[in-house]
Amino acid sequence: MEPEIIIRTQGRAGILTLNRPKALNALTHGMCLATEEALTAWRDDPAVEVVILEARGDRAFCAGGDIAQVTAAGRRGDYAMGRDFWRDEYRMNLMLSRYDKPIVSFMNGFVMGGGVGYGCHVAHRVVGETTQMAMPECGIGLIPDVGGTWLLSRAPGQLGLYLALTAARMGPGDAIHAGFADRFIPEAEWDAAKTRLIDTGDPASLPSHPAPDSPLAAEQARIDALFSGATVPAILAALEADDGALAATALKAMRRNSPLSMASSLAMLRPGPASLAEALAQEFRWTWRSMEHGDFIEGVRAQILDKDRNPKWRHAAPAEVTSAETEAMLAPLGADELALE
């Protein structure tokens, strides 16, 4: 049986290859722990000068976290499995961002949720022509986590809120415009680029190409206007009053989402966290409560397990969510707070 993640050194590089292509390289708890272990070992290894993050298969770098087991346990009333997974995953996200050797991620195909957390906090983030990036958590009763609220809060204007509330997909140009990636390299050149990294240990060896056009950049002014409302109902009202295609698509997406998740996402993005560590700590408070007090279990049931696409959210409409409820989801956890230092 092949490992879920292939860990090896070659030349001057440490290489982590996500190896679940049939599952779109969905991230498991074990893969997070193995990544942390490898990074810890390579930190003091003088032979490793650069770390490469990549994935097997053409369809996805990583389409998210593997939440089937977490949800199954949660339905039995066992919330510990999910909380342990998120705790270790978030610690790994921060480790990737703070690593004192350069890390280069090559993100092809689907890059969603946990895949964003794996590949988008590192120093050098490469996308290609097949890249499709998104934060679709509100659709399964979660919030953009794995440091997603940090990335989204730093996107231009209201773009981060738009991405959080609509799960809109970003192509390579959009990902660079939104601050989720740094560099476009045509995928036909990726093998050669990795070989140069292995030979030199130097990210400066990466080729330079112009970023593709960003459709979202072209819509930035409209997105800023439509998503400037102070509440989710205010944003929905602005969308309903607009007869453009972007508003219609956004409205359709938001009407499918968990009202509690959307209200909480808005609260987390305004004014936004001061650091990635603060974002992860805040996200953990929410995900820690997500199965018992949120819509996560029902969202996964409806969208992923039963696939009836008919979730019964705790709130029938966004207007029913109170600020007290979002504050309660984000309240400190006391002894259960996420310890990152």
- Residues annotated as catalytic are 65, 114, 137, 145
* Alpha-carbon gap, residue 38 to 24, rounded angstroms: 22
* Alpha-carbon gap, residue 178 to 164, rounded angstroms: 12
| Positive or negative torsion for Cα 199, 204, 208, 212 | positive
Question: Cβ(295)–Cβ(313) under 8 Å?
Answer: yes
3-state secondary structure of 298: helix
- Cα–Cα–Cα angle for 23, 24, 30, nearest 5°? 65
What burial class does residue 77 get, using C-beta atoms within 10 Å of its C-beta: 0-12 exposed, 13-18 middle, 19+ buried? exposed
H-helix or E-strand spanning residue 9: strand 5-10
What burial class does residue 341 get, using C-beta atoms within 10 Å of its C-beta: 0-12 exposed, 13-18 middle, 19+ buried? exposed
Side by side, which strands form the sheet with 50-55? Answer: 5-10, 13-18, 50-55, 103-107, 124-127, 183-184
